[in-house]
Amino acid sequence: MQNDTYACSFAVFPFLKTSAPVHLPGITLYSTEDTAHLGPEDAKHVATIAAMLFLKDNLRIPTSGTYVRVPFIDLDHPERAPKQLERLQAIIAYCYAAPHPASGDPFFAYEHASLAIFSPKPVSIYLVRPEHHTTAVTAEPLSPNHRGEVRGYHGLYNFQHHFWVTAGSRLYPPVPDITLNIAQDLAADVGQFIHQSLSYQFLPSLLAGTDTITSRVLTAIQWFNKATTLGGDEETSILHLAVAFEALLGLPEDQKTDRLTDAIALLLGRIPRLDSWGRQFYKARSEIVHEGQARQLRFMTDPKRPQEAHLYNSLLSFGRQVFQLSASTLLFGARLSAAAGLEEKLVTNQERFEQLCTILADQNVSAADRLQRISAQAAAIARYCFVAESNLRIETMLGTVRLAAHALIAADTGLPALFAEHLEKLAKAQRSPDEYESLAAVHALHDMKRSSDLSSVVVPARGLVIQLVDVIWHSTFMHYFWLKQRHDNTSASVGFVQDTRE
């Protein structure tokens, strides 16, 4: 048996094929037939896994899978499984749930985008081949080691179901029967989703995003996907879709019906009958939750006059379409606000300086890492240094740059002599109510930059501190010269008194 340490795992979409590599942010998908870029050992793993993929009975589908090689995942600790894979599956399933333009039914169910993770490791023969109440129809004998283990894979299906397999095992769909689409091709379909569809072009950004909007939309998409499963009935799917709307739109506990209709109208416009669908959808949801079943699952054209109203398509079908349009609009708005830097603009420089002080004062982090962590905030301070604000405090700014000077001295042992000298003066400046000594040190550093060529010595950390010095100097130079004149006058007066006494 080989060493139990493995370099990688494999995540496989058994029922989605691709004619070419699919490049997404931070991840590339390949056909199970495409292993030319892999080493011999990894290529053998892919071939072994592909041979396990079955549609039903004895119908193998080794050429219809798509895989991605990822760092090894210890499935005995599934909480460590990469969130990126969960996001990837959610986004692909969501795209393939695109509604039919007339009926509104999803193109694919969630199960078509099933994802199986295979982590190579020795597995118990009793998990691979249970002895009791089973009969091996056609299976080659296995030779376990002294621990009763054989070379195989610990697997996780759709992030829910664990399984253990070895070469020659079979992996079937999560439902009794599933169809394969002849024309389906991830390479072509993802390109069409991203580049040609207004509804899906922002989805790849969710793979790497960490902001609040990204998290909320991904959670909502995962609940939406539960509303497209083959195993779910219509009423269960309505409940899942209602949760998806609540997650997407941040609906409060009370007045959910009114808030849902208002939020959708704001996102999609006041379309006739859209608010009526929203009220009927939430009425059905409430009846399912509180009574166990809904009285009506189809859309009623005029619920206020039921005798004259007509029943039309299902509430669920319309709901899936409304959700996808709402999610796309929300993502588009988030992209616009991000491009405009709206979130950043609503933060004051005083708040940024306070955040920098907290980061720079953290002695549990190395000086170099502290400086690296403040780079984005320092750049934002520079961008907004000329925006007026009433609460920008000199002591906070100087406290920040003193901490930054301390960190740079500790992190950079190759500082030019004069630069290091001025940094030392700033770092050790005497605290006082008017902070004159610190301001004088900032002035000296600023003048040094103006009068000397520092381009050859400015590495990122040095440039960061110089950037902070510049910003603080622009905000304080008038105050500094006023203080300097007062200090000079005081010194002159003291000298004059001493001369007259002598």
Q: What is the pLDDT of residue 384?
A: 93
Give backbone dihedrals phi and psi of 297, rounded to 5 degrees, phi first: -110, 0
Instruction: Kindly indicate the confidence band of residue 4, based on its pLDDT and cuts at 50, 70 and 90.
Output: low
Burial class from Cβ neighbours inside 10 Å (0-12, 13-18, 19+) for residue 405 reads buried
Range 346-370 average pLDDT: 95
CB under 8 A, 24+ apart: contacts of 251-257:
256/282, 257/282, 257/283
Looking at residue 79, its pLDDT comes to 64
pLDDT of residue 456: 44
Rounded mean pLDDT, 350-362: 96
Tokens for 32?
């199970």
Lowest mean pLDDT, pick from 34-38, 92-96, 250-254, 470-474: 250-254
| Contacts for 360 with CB less than 8 Å, ≥ 6 apart | 370, 371, 374, 400, 403, 404, 406, 407
Contacts of 380 by beta carbon, 8 Å cutoff, 6+ apart: 344, 347, 352
pLDDT of residue 3: 44
Six token digits for residue 298: 């189809």
- With a pLDDT cut of 90, the percent of the chain lying above it is 62
- Does position 334 have pLDDT exceeding 70, yes or no? yes
Q: Looking at residues 194-210, what average pLDDT do you find?
A: 77
Q: SS3 of 70, please?
A: strand
At 502 the pLDDT is: 54
| 405, two tokens | 């000077």
pLDDT tens by residue, 246-289: 999 988 777 788 888 999 999 999 999 999 999 999 999 999 99
Q: What is the pLDDT of residue 418?
A: 87
Stated pTM of the model:
0.80
Q: Is 70 exceeded by the pLDDT of residue 451?
A: no
Which residues have a Cβ under 8 Å from the Cβ of 256 and sit 6 or more positions away? 246, 282
- The pLDDT of residue 78 is 61
pLDDT score, position 450: 58
pLDDT for res 1 = 40
Q: Taking each helix axis from N to C terminus, what angle separates 394-411 and 460-501, rounded to the nearest 10 degrees?
A: 120
Residue 26 reports pLDDT greater than 80: yes
Is the model's pLDDT at 497 over the cut of 50? no
- Strand pairing partners for 56? 59
Rounded Cα distance, 34 and 30, in Å = 6
Question: Stretch 97-104: mean pLDDT, rounded?
Answer: 83
What CA dihedral angle connects 213, 250, 91 and 101, to 10 degrees? -120
- Lowest model confidence (mean pLDDT) among 75-84, 142-151, 376-385: 75-84
Are the beta carbons of 218 and 206 closer than 8 angstroms?
yes
Averaged pLDDT, 142-154: 91
Contact between 357 and 316 (Cβ < 8 Å): no
Average pLDDT, the chain: 88
Split at pLDDT 50, 70, 90, the class of 143 is confident
Tens of pLDDT along 386-417? 999 999 999 999 999 999 999 999 998 888 88
Is-contact 238 285, C-beta < 8 A? Answer: yes
- Is the pLDDT reported for residue 496 higher than 60? no
DSSP code, position 471: H
